[in-house]
């Protein structure tokens, strides 16, 4: 028995529904996406001294990925540390003089304020120096390296596009009318063009908003079982064995 279905067609990033007649099972365009992905950017203007990963290379959470030339900032930190030492000595002397009634309490308070100010400068330089390196926020792989070693970058310039491929999600846009029966836990299959293989999957999450124009909703699924040949960005067809539209 043939069932009237509105199937999703993805063309150059735009989603539209084409009215066709299709026999069950229903097949809809699907894509694999990394659960975690990020573009790491520079937080300062500086020259890159270390760029420790290549495209496609794996890394672990906390690994040093990028290091900048921060010789000037390190010199400023040493200067701030020297200022603190001088301010603390001045405060100690003024404290003794105050006890001997040779200095007013106001002058002692001003000396204490100078110590606090100098310590604040150290804290500020410490915060700046933390920007001199970029550590991996999660374990994963480098999708794209956007700069080269010894390149000068400005604050905000993208450096590395990284992703966590240990957890890949299947993204599918389905007719909103399927919400009557398509729920989390529903099992389906995914055929990927790059591997020419079919994988079992199940619905993990149903989107929170229906697109009023296309009357579609995004669902997210996960591949069930072991599949070491999958990469983020692979695409193919989600196969639903029982479309009750």
**Per-residue pLDDT reduced to its tens digit, 40-65:** 999 999 999 999 999 999 999 999 99
> How sure is the predictor about 243, in pLDDT bands with cuts at 50, 70 and 90?
low
Q: Which residues pair with 3 in a beta bridge?
A: 22
Burial class (CB in 10 A: 0-12, 13-18, 19+), 61: exposed
Q: What is the pLDDT of residues 5-36, one digit of tens each?
A: 343 333 333 344 443 444 467 899 999 999 88
Its pTM stands at 0.70
**147 occurs within a structural domain:** no
Is 73 or 15 the better-scoring residue by pLDDT?
73
Cβ-based neighbours of 82, under 8 Å, separated by 6 or more: none
Both 171 and 227 in a single domain? Answer: yes
Q: What is the mean pLDDT of residues 81-108?
A: 85
Both 233 and 183 in a single domain? Answer: yes
Number of domains forming the structure of the chain: 2
**113 occurs within a structural domain:** yes
**64 occurs within a structural domain:** no
- pLDDT (0 to 100) of residue 47: 96
Q: Helices 71-99 and 105-130 meet at what angle, rounded to 10?
A: 160
- pLDDT (0 to 100) of residue 100: 80
**65 occurs within a structural domain:** no
Is 187 or 11 the better-scoring residue by pLDDT?
187
**52 occurs within a structural domain:** no
Average pLDDT of the residues of the chain = 86
- pLDDT (0 to 100) of residue 13: 39
Q: How far apart, in whole angstroms, are the C-alpha atoms of residue 173 and residue 211?
A: 10
**CATH number of residue 23's parent domain:** 2.40.30.170
Cβ-based neighbours of 209, under 8 Å, separated by 6 or more: 217
| Proportion of the chain above pLDDT 70, given as a percent | 89
Both 118 and 174 in a single domain? Answer: no
The domain of 86 spans 71-130
* Sequence-distant contacts of 15-23: CB under 8 A, at least 24 apart: 15/173, 15/211, 15/214, 15/216, 16/214, 17/175, 17/214, 17/215, 17/216
Q: How far apart, in whole angstroms, are the C-alpha atoms of residue 28 and residue 175?
A: 10
**26 occurs within a structural domain:** yes
**157 occurs within a structural domain:** no
- pLDDT (0 to 100) of residue 229: 86
Q: What is the mean pLDDT of residues 96-108?
A: 82
Of 178, 243, 240, 166, which is closest to residue 206 (Cα–Cα)? 178
Both 183 and 231 in a single domain? Answer: yes
Is 6 or 188 the better-scoring residue by pLDDT?
188
- pLDDT (0 to 100) of residue 62: 95
**204 occurs within a structural domain:** yes
**CATH number of residue 84's parent domain:** 1.10.287
Q: How far apart, in whole angstroms, are the C-alpha atoms of residue 34 and residue 24?
A: 30
> How sure is the predictor about 178, in pLDDT bands with cuts at 50, 70 and 90?
very high
- pLDDT (0 to 100) of residue 30: 95
DSSP string covering 93-154, please? HHHHHHHTTSS-HHHHHHHHHHHHHHHHHHHHHHHHHHTTEEE-SSSEEEEEE-S-TT-EE-
CB atoms near residue 19 (< 10 Å): 8
């Amino acid at each position: 028995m043939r069932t009237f279905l509105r199937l999703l067609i993805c063309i150059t990033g735009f989603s539209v529904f084409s009215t066709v007649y299709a026999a069950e099972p229903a097949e809809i365009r699907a894509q694999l996406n990394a659960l975690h992905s990020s573009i790491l950017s520079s937080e300062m203007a500086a020259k890159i001294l270390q760029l420790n990963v290549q495209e496609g290379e794996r890394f672990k959470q906390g690994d040093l990925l990028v290091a900048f030339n921060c010789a000037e900032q390190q010199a400023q930190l040493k200067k701030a540390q020297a200022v603190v030492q001088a301010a603390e000595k001045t405060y100690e002397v003024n404290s003794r003089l105050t006890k001997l009634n040779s200095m007013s309490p106001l002058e002692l308070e001003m000396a204490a304020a100078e110590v606090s100010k100098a310590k604040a400068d150290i804290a500020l330089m410490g915060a700046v120096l933390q920007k001199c390196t970029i550590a991996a926020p999660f374990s994963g792989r480098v999708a794209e390296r956007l700069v080269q070693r010894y390149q000068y970058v400005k604050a905000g310039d993208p450096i590395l596009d990284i992703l966590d491929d240990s957890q890949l999600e299947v993204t599918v846009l389905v007719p909103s009318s399927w919400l009557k029966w398509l729920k989390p836990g529903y099992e389906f299959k995914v055929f990927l063009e790059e591997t020419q293989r079919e994988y079992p999957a199940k619905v993990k999450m149903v989107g929170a908003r229906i697109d009023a124009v296309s009357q579609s909703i995004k669902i997210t699924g996960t591949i069930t079982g072991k599949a070491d040949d999958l990469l983020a960005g692979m695409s193919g067809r989600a196969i639903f064995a029982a479309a009750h539209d």
